[in-house]
Amino acid sequence: MLAAAQVPVRPAPDQQALLASADPQAAANKRLVYDFWREVFEGGHMELAEKYLAESYIQHNPNVPTGRAAFVEFFSKFAKPRPIEPRIKAPLVAVVAEGDLVILSFVREVGDPKSLATTKYTTTWFDMFRIENGKIAEHWDPAPRQ
């Protein structure tokens, strides 16, 4: 049961439409981040990280180390390769590109701290990437230190 305080966040029905852009570079940057998310992050194919991440990749999430090699080492502990899906599996709300930045936003369902029951509500999670020379050079998200 969702908390009734706000309108629930809903995923976009057509992910391919989110990749469209009148600007060819913005469309290419969106596709790069989208495919990275599907193949490396969700698919667990760390061997593909070099295709998407700059060697000097900068990580701003306080739980994940900086650098492509460090990213691969960190996520290899958790992610095991599985079939790559044609769409992002997470409930994707939007893909926004401006200049060298691409933002993915997702539905995030969390437990309501005001409720003693199992009441949940939705909010939005954002991942932002900076593209440099056709690769992901930097990443931000709102993750707190764990």
Span between the terminal Cα atoms of the chain, in Å: 27
pLDDT score of 3:
47
pTM, two decimals, is 0.91
Of 1-5, 90-94, 97-101, where does mean pLDDT reach its minimum? 1-5
pLDDT score of 107:
96
Please tell me the distance from the alpha carbon of residue 145 to that of residue 83, in angstroms, as a whole number: 30
Q: What are the residue boundaries of the structural domains of the chain, listed by start?
A: 15-140
CA angle 103, 68, 132 (to 5 degrees): 50
Determine the average pLDDT of the residues in 12-31. Answer: 98
Determine the average pLDDT of the residues in 94-106. Answer: 98
Between 146 and 132, whose confidence is greater? 132
Residue 137: how many CB atoms within 10 A of its CB?
Answer: 17
2 pLDDT exceeds 80?
A: no
CATH topology of domain 15-140: Nuclear Transport Factor 2; Chain: A, (3.10.450)
pLDDT score of 111:
84
Determine the average pLDDT of the residues in 79-98. Answer: 97
33 pLDDT exceeds 90?
A: yes
Q: How confident is the model at residue 117 (pLDDT cuts 50, 70, 90)?
A: low
Cα–Cα distance list, 114 to 16, 38, 81, 125, 146 (Å): 37, 34, 38, 20, 22
